[in-house]
Amino acid sequence: MDFLEYEILDEVDGLKIRDYLKYDKKLSSRFIKQSAIEKRIFVNNLSVKLNYYLKKGDKIKIKIHRKNETQSIVPIQVDFEIVYEDSFILIVNKPKDLVVYPSKSHDVSLSNGIMYYFKTNNIDSIVRPVNRLDMNTTGLLVIAKNQYSHMFLSNCMIDNIFYKEYIAIVQDNMKDTKGIIEKNIFRPSEDSVKRTVHDSYGKFARTIYEVVKRFDSCDLVRVKIETGRTHQIRVHMSYLGNPIVGDKMYGSCVSSVSRYLLHAYKIKFPHPYTNDIMEFKVDIPSDMMDYIKKPK
């Protein structure tokens, strides 16, 4: 599983390998260029340049894994659950109160923990998160172990074949038990963290929701997003008048929880090497279960 392999079965007239890989196989220009520079592209077991003209019967091999990649993330031991791992991807269950990347205000992150895991297990990889989760959002996060896997899965997200489903606890009871929200998400200024719904400006966002169970003062809601805008679920739930419990930025008045109650519980996507459909689920975390069990 170290190579991508293709065979030219049809007659090709004046087709360069660069164009074949980019337009037929949908590989990114960056991946193709780096593979060529590092002499990882072979035709009939011989290294070739990107201006090589293909012919029927040619067998292409591209070495996937790059050696000795570096990244300025300090290895730090952090507790997290590994849900699945192979030589292409690592899937983890992100705990609450942990950012994905280190920053000026958070010098310990999930990425530090993953780098520590890679180093201690002699895994030659850097940390490449595919999907995004905010600090207070728990759940499934996919890490690509190589450049090709990251490119492939990022394209899956663009093509809307990377399925993401969340569980949220929203404040009060929703007017409709299911629905679709199609509202732009707008960032008022570059300095603003908070987003808002806007009819004319911003980026289009589509959220599908369904109430799973009603309680006296909240609803347990299953949410699917078909676009990946920053704070999308938080903004759209607030727009409906049902902010996520604990999400003070977007209007929640509940102060008895330490975070907003949002959990990425299900993902489904094609594997970057085998193309088999992979599906993973994780349980709702204990703090969310505790909240809906407590009398309000």
Question: Tokens at residue 217, please?
Answer: 């003062």
For this structure, is 134 an active site residue?
yes
Q: How far apart are CA 104 and CA 106, in angstroms?
A: 6
| DSSP classification of residue 121 | T
Q: Classify strands 89-94 and 184-186 as parallel, antiparallel or unpaired.
A: unpaired
Count CA atoms within 13 Å of residue 133 on its CB side. Answer: 33
Q: How far apart are CA 283 and CA 29, in angstroms?
A: 39
Q: In Å, how far from its chain's centre is CA 74?
A: 22
Catalytic residue among 19, 134, 172, 287: 134
Residues 226/95/134/167 CA torsion (nearest 10 deg): 40
Q: How far apart are CA 144 and CA 130, in angstroms?
A: 7
Question: H/E element holding 179?
Answer: strand 178-182
| Residues ≥6 apart with Cβ < 8 Å to 24 | none
Catalytic residues: 134
